[in-house]
Every structure is written in structure tokens, then in C-alpha cells.
Amino acid sequence: MISDYNRRIAKNYAQVLFDLSTNRRTMDLLFQAFSEILSQLKESTTLQSLFKNPLLSPKDQKNILSLFIDPSLDLFFSFIIQKKRLALLGLIGESFMELVENYKNQGRAFLETATPLTKDQRNSLTKKIQPLLGLDHLIIEEKINPRLLGGFRLKIKGKVFDASLMTQGQNILKESYV
């Protein structure tokens, strides 16, 4: 469980990195680096453990990070390593990416479906949601979950719209037994 204290620290570091990257015109490069790192962290519990290991030397931490980042970003990540905040790298990355998306009037939606969407369905969904949110660009991250049986779950900015058959079935069962 992540504490509110760690979330605040991560947001502060993200804000500093955002300000620095805006001034140095490396925002997109840093966004891409965090995107890659977050993707790797989701897939690898070993990498998560390495980043949380306090016995790992700063040199080793830097070597591990160099596998994912452009050398021009060493300054940003050295800052995080120097301040011994590598364990918060995932939270810092999420906060940084959120700041960039807000700055660029972009949004990110998380879509869970029982089967993959076609390209036309994805485009249609994007065209319907994007104006409702007043965004210039919408990124949809799709996850397949066969347990939904049909329909979808959509999460945008902390709000969840659940139109899955699984949830509808559960609601019908709850109403039947009340």
C-alpha cells in the first residue's frame, strides 16, 4: 500500500522534473522514458524489487536505468537516485505523465473489454469520449478481461463507467436476493 506521504513526495519530484523538462525542452523524451519504465515495472516484479532495494549502489541503479532511458536524460534520473527516491520511480513517473497530459490537454482512458476492439470501434469510442472531456487528444489503453463476458469498463480521471455483462449480472443477482 502506498502512503499519502509517498504520493506527495512523488508529486513534488514530478513537478520539479516537469519544470526542468519544460525549460530544457526534453518533456517528450522524458515522457517516453517514463512510459517505458512504467511498462517494464508493470511486467517485472524483479525490477520493482531492484528499485526498492536499499543495498543497491547508486552506480548500479544508474546502470539499470540506463537500459531504459536516453543518455540525455541522465541528469533527471541521477537527481532521483541521488535523493534516494528510486523506490518511488513508478509514482514519480505516473505523476509526471499526468502533468504532461494536463499541460498538453491530453487524457488517458483505461478500457477493459472481454474481446479486443476493432480499429473502427476504438476510433468511434475516441471520437465520442474526447469532446465530452474537452480534450485535444485521448489515449486509450486497452486491457482484455474475458471475465467481463461482454460490454466494457472505462476508467477516466478516477471515474469508472462499468457496462460489463458481469457487473450487470451481479447486480441482477443482488436485487433478486434482497
Residues 134, 50: contact at Cβ < 8 Å? Answer: no
Q: Indicate if 136 and 95 belong to the same structural domain.
A: no
Per-residue pLDDT tens digits for 53-89: 888 888 888 888 888 788 888 888 888 888 888 889 9
Is residue 131 over pLDDT 80?
yes
Record the pTM.
Answer: 0.72
- Judged against a pLDDT cut of 90, whether residue 7 lies above it is answered with yes
Name the domain count of the chain.
2
Query: In terms of residue numbers, what domain contains 9?
Result: 4-102
> Is residue 80 located within the same domain as residue 143?
no
Mark whether 96 and 9 lie in a shared domain.
yes
24 DSSP β-pair partners: none
In this prediction, residues 87-101 reach a mean pLDDT of 92
Q: Which of 102, 137, 162 is the last residue of a domain?
A: 102
Let me know whether 98 and 142 are in one domain.
no
Task: Tell me what the pLDDT averaged over the chain comes to.
Answer: 85
Same domain assignment for residues 146 and 164: yes
Q: Are residues 121 and 157 in the same domain?
A: yes
Strands (E) across the chain are located at 106-113, 137-144, 152-156, 159-162
Q: In what order do the strands lie in the sheet with 159-162?
A: 137-144, 106-113, 152-156, 159-162
**Considering 48, 79, 102, which residue would you say is the last residue of a domain?**
102
